Amino acid sequence: MSLVQPRTLPGALELLPHEQIAFQGLLDTIRTTYERFGYLPIETPVMELAQVLLTKEGGETERQVYFAQSTGDREAGREPELALRFDLTVPLARYVAQYEGQLSFPFRRYQIQRVYRGERAQRGRFREFYQCDIDIVGQDSLPVRYDAELPAVIHQLFTELDFGGFMIEINNRKLLRGFLADLGIAEGEQQKLVLREVDKLDKRGPDWLRQTLLERFDLAAAAVEKLLAFVGTRSQSYADAAEILDRLAAEHQHELLGQGVTELREVLARVADFGVPDSHLRLNFAIARGLDYYTGTVYETVLSEHPEIGSVCSGGRYDDLASNYTRSRLPGVGLSIGATRLFWQLRELGLYRQSGSTVQVLAALMDEDLLSHSLALASRLREAGVNVQTQLEAAKLGRQLKYADRAGIRFVLIVGSDELSRGVVTVKDLRAQTQFEVTPEALAGELLQRLAAALPSAPAEPAR
């Protein structure tokens, strides 16, 4: 029979088991942190009805959508009725509109699922990737103080993830729009074009931006300088941020800018209450995000030692989540982490090394006659909550130790006939590079103690 070459579609990140364990650890930490703040889980189908998923206008992302069709529908020559979700926001909108009467508001939800985009195949671009989203959705209204909770989630999450320093960058779209209007840059299309260039500031620098703004837009040199100074603003502390906002409010009378200042003041006051230190959060007036969707607070998050990755966690405030599906007004605030891309980037940077296996113990076997005994020991350990892989075929100890070491398994149980006659088990601790003997009765307790001691702190049980 001729063979088919086993391969995956380009743009899918498929991992080897030890990498999958590390990636699963990332997702678990994200989920645990989201739950820590009271966000509730939902999952939505990968396939949505195309007429529900896709709006008539169809943004850029929608043009990358994958359509799906069953064999039967294809053979009948029908148009595809299904499409794969391209983000988790449109499914959230559909979900909240659909179950509005059964949800409690403000509705805090998290969702960790894969999304699909027909991107051009390119290194680091994914056609299938995980998004890890949280949103707080209000009914009719959602006070701006809610915008302060999300930075607290980000702060706790990236502290736990321990990828080194990070900075939550915060801005407000009303302040941005008011400032631009005050400079004579008209709301709408013109602001959009200017902000698209401003977005490149961090990559191309202020000189490039100055030249672009002067050449492409009909702006006076003084206005360009003002804009450059403005988008270059970064606060050094919460006190500094308050001063910056006071100064802005005093210098500009534009109403929208005033609203933006008021909102940012409240958010900054509250993030401090939420326990976010100003070493990890600052004003950054260059942050714009997608112009159409966000209407107030916007966030980005940058890893201090790896700014080249760009924002690893972004989001913001929106006025109305589900106007395509319901006349209810559903304002909200949310953020998203692209976990697949983040993992890939960190792996590229060598920050994700093999982090140890989910398997904690290998029950080695050197003598077929001792299999029953070894299986009984393993059962006892599993009942105590230890993850044990049993070796079911006898092999040389050296080979089994080498396997455990490569696989990142910490403990190897050795029961030879000598140990059996003396009523003990020998345990090799490959991480501590030590070896000890213990009775079968004391084995589970000893291993659990050593495993617990290896943790930096004792995290609480995940809630059910």
108, β-bridge pairs: 136
* Residue whose CB is less far from a copy of itself, 184 or 385: 385
* Residue whose CB is less far from a copy of itself, 56 or 123: 56
452 touches a copy of itself (CB under 8 A) = yes
Quick one: which of 66, 278, 309, 310 contacts a copy of itself (CB under 8 A)? 66
- Which residues are CB-contacts of 117 (< 8 A; sequence separation ≥ 6)? 61, 64, 65, 66, 86, 126, 127
| Nearest distance in Å: CB 311, a copy of itself | 24
Quick one: which of 164, 188, 205, 459 contacts a copy of itself (CB under 8 A)? 459
- Which residues are CB-contacts of 374 (< 8 A; sequence separation ≥ 6)? 363, 364, 365, 390, 391, 413, 415
* Residue whose CB is less far from a copy of itself, 84 or 286: 84
8 touches a copy of itself (CB under 8 A) = yes
| Nearest distance in Å: CB 103, a copy of itself | 8
- Pick from 331, 334, 177: nearest CA to 259: 177
Q: Which stretch binds a copy of itself (CB under 8 A): 165-173, 221-229, 255-263, 446-454?
A: 446-454
In the region spanning residues 117 to 156, those forming contacts with a copy of itself, defined by CB under 8 A, are: 118, 127-128, 143, 145-146, 149, 152, 156
* Residue whose CB is less far from a copy of itself, 250 or 452: 452
In the region spanning residues 9 to 48, those forming contacts with a copy of itself, defined by CB under 8 A, are: 9, 12, 14-18, 20-21, 24-25, 28, 35-38, 40-48
* Residue whose CB is less far from a copy of itself, 57 or 218: 57
290 touches a copy of itself (CB under 8 A) = no
* Residue whose CB is less far from a copy of itself, 260 or 408: 408
277 touches a copy of itself (CB under 8 A) = no
| Nearest distance in Å: CB 90, a copy of itself | 10
| Nearest distance in Å: CB 184, a copy of itself | 32
The CA R_g of the chain, rounded to the nearest whole Å, is 27
In the region spanning residues 69 to 108, those forming contacts with a copy of itself, defined by CB under 8 A, are: 69-74, 80-82, 84, 93-95, 97-99, 102-104, 106, 108
In the region spanning residues 358 to 417, those forming contacts with a copy of itself, defined by CB under 8 A, are: 358-360, 362, 371-372, 375-376, 379, 382, 384-390, 392-393, 403, 406-407
The CB-side HSE value for 137 (13 A sphere, CA atoms) comes to 24
In the region spanning residues 238 to 267, those forming contacts with a copy of itself, defined by CB under 8 A, are: none
Quick one: which of 190, 259, 295, 324 contacts a copy of itself (CB under 8 A)? 324
The distance of Cα 351 from the centroid of its chain, to the nearest Å, equals 16
Number of residues this chain uses to bind a copy of itself (CB under 8 A): 119
- Which residues are CB-contacts of 48 (< 8 A; sequence separation ≥ 6)? 82, 83, 84, 85, 90, 91, 94
The CB-side HSE value for 14 (13 A sphere, CA atoms) comes to 6
- Pick from 207, 199, 227, 201: nearest CA to 298: 199
* Residue whose CB is less far from a copy of itself, 11 or 260: 11
- Which residues are CB-contacts of 444 (< 8 A; sequence separation ≥ 6)? 380, 381, 383, 384, 386
d(CA 425, CA 345): 43
| Nearest distance in Å: CB 55, a copy of itself | 8
* Residue whose CB is less far from a copy of itself, 47 or 201: 47
Q: Could you please report the per-residue DSSP string of 174-230?
A: HHHHHHHHHTTPPTTHHHHHHHHHHTTHHHHHHHHHHHHHHHHS---HHHHHHHHHH
* Residue whose CB is less far from a copy of itself, 143 or 423: 143
Cα angle value 218/220/223 (rounded, 5°): 115
* Residue whose CB is less far from a copy of itself, 178 or 332: 332
- Which residues are CB-contacts of 366 (< 8 A; sequence separation ≥ 6)? 394, 395, 396, 397, 400, 414, 416
* Residue whose CB is less far from a copy of itself, 168 or 302: 168
The distance of Cα 338 from the centroid of its chain, to the nearest Å, equals 5
For 214-296, list the strands marked E by DSSP: 281-283
The CB-side HSE value for 41 (13 A sphere, CA atoms) comes to 12
4 touches a copy of itself (CB under 8 A) = yes
